[in-house]
Each structure stands twice: as C-alpha cells, then as structure tokens.
Amino acid sequence: MSAQQLVVVTGASTGMGAATARELARQGFHVLAGVRRDRDADALRGDGVEPVILDITETARVEALAARVDADPRPLRAVVNNAGIQVNAPVEALPLAEWRRVFEVNLFGHIAVTQALLPALLRSGGRVLNISSIGGKAAMPTYGAYAGAKFALEAVSDALRREVEPLGVRVIVLEPGGVRTEMSGRGIVTANDLAARMTPEQDARYGGLVQAINSLMASGTSAGLTADAAARVIAKAVTARRPRTRYTVGRDAAMIIGMARVLPDRLLDRVIAGTVRRHLPKPTTA
C-alpha cells in the first residue's frame, strides 16, 4: 500500500530528517523531502526520495509544496514537521529578533506547512507528525526560546488533534531526547556566538551557565540515539494502524518527561540544577 502513498518530510537536509526520508523510502513510500540547498538535494536524492527546495518560513515555497502534492495522484499519507533550529541563550540576553526567528522556524513554519497540506490530508485520511522535544515538556536554563516554541507546538498539536481527528486525520507528537546529529553542534556554535555578545554584567551572571549547558548538550548528544534509530520510531508513527498521540524517542526522553510529569517544580529545579552543576567550568586558581 505504501508504494502508492506520499509522505512529506521537512528539514530533511541532514540528521533525523534525512534518515527519516530514507527509512520511509525504504518502506515503500514516495517521500517529498524538504531541503534548503541544491547540494543537499543532490546528496539526498535516491529511490523513493524526491528532494524539494523548501524554506518553511517562505510562503511561496510552502505554496509550491502544496501544489506539488495536489498535482500528484497518490494520496498523502503523512506530513512530518521536522525542520528546526536550536538557539540557546539566557532569557535576559537573547535579542528579541532571535526569539522571533526561533518561533518562525520552530512553530509558525510548521503551522504554515500543516495549513497548506491539511486539505490533502483530509482527503486521504492521513496524519500530521510534529517533531517536538523533551524541551517541549521540561525547559532547561538557556532553552527559553527553543523550549518555548516546543511547548507551543505541543499545545497546537493538542488543539489540532481535537479538531481534525473526528474528520479522520491523526495528529502525533514525537519527543526526542539526545540524538547524534549536526543540530547540537550548530547549536553550540550559536550559543557561543550569542554569549560573546552579552554585556559584561550578563557574562558575569550567565557565562559559566552557558559553558555548562554547552558541555551538557555535547555529552547528551554523544550518548544519544543515532539518527537512524530515531527515524525508525518516526516511521513507526507514520505506519502504525492505531498510533499513539505521543512517542518519546530515546530512554533519556522517557526519563526526563516522566520526571517532569510527576515531580513538583521545586524538586525538578533541584534535579536540573544538580545536573548543570556537574558541567560548570572549574574555577581557575592563581
């Protein structure tokens, strides 16, 4: 059956998105894989994978994707909203323009794609898969913008599910923990760039914290799932006859989301503070 069905995967240039596109193609779907650049398209193109130049924040690109889907006689099985950026900085120090950029990509872009493709999904009885994060359930320090957009994506997913499941469209949230992709490395570079722009007073308040979070991010990524393992969970959500509303991806995600669900805020604060403390830079001695 999958050979006669389309799947759209956004953010497919590298990492989980690319792995998901290949895994779904391996399972027989025809995948429209959103990429930003021609060289990414050339690297990804293969049997069952059709790269599409896509920036989910550009209306014309999203409309072109919808037109491509509408022109295809095959039904649309699923839309995997995977595109995203990671920007970490303390709430006080992150410029408002960066807040807006994070929300444009990590929230509003997904809404734009979903709105554009919902008519096709309603016709086919397909499904929407929104790639959230453990940051959609528990916000670490310096993750205000990233986690804020993911919290919002979780809420939008709940509202959408209650709107369209009675109409035959399933809505599923996936919550990955650490995954070995290029995203965290880019996030560390961005965090360091933003930290370099902090005022001396902000650096005194948060400089050590930024270093600790970068160290924690690097260690969590190196110990995380491979992109291929994460892609298999996403593919399961695409193909399951009766999918769950949410899937955690990785043991760390299951553990942290479980703690966030049951621990009082102050106790969770202490757990997070203890984790961060182990990564703080050691004080220098004269």
Residue 146 catalytic? yes
How far, in Å, CA of 200 to CA of 133, rounded? 32
The residue type found at 200 is: P
Q: Please report the pLDDT score of residue 92 as a whole number.
A: 97
Which regions of the chain are under pLDDT 50? 1, 286
How far, in Å, CA of 247 to CA of 244, rounded? 7
Task: List the domain boundaries for the chain.
Answer: 2-277
CA dihedral 71→74→80→84, nearest 10 degrees, is -30
* pLDDT, tens digit (0-9, with 9 covering 90-100), for 75-116: 999 999 999 999 999 999 999 999 999 999 999 999 999 999
**What is the DSSP track for 241-253?**
SS--SEEEESHHH
How far, in Å, CA of 48 to CA of 2, rounded? 11
Paired tokens of 2 = 């999958």
Q: What's the predicted TM-score (pTM) here?
A: 0.92
State the fold for domain 2-277. Answer: Rossmann fold (3.40.50)
Which one of the listed residues 143, 146, 206, 247 is annotated catalytic?
A: 146
* pLDDT, tens digit (0-9, with 9 covering 90-100), for 141-182: 999 999 999 999 999 999 999 999 999 999 999 999 888 877
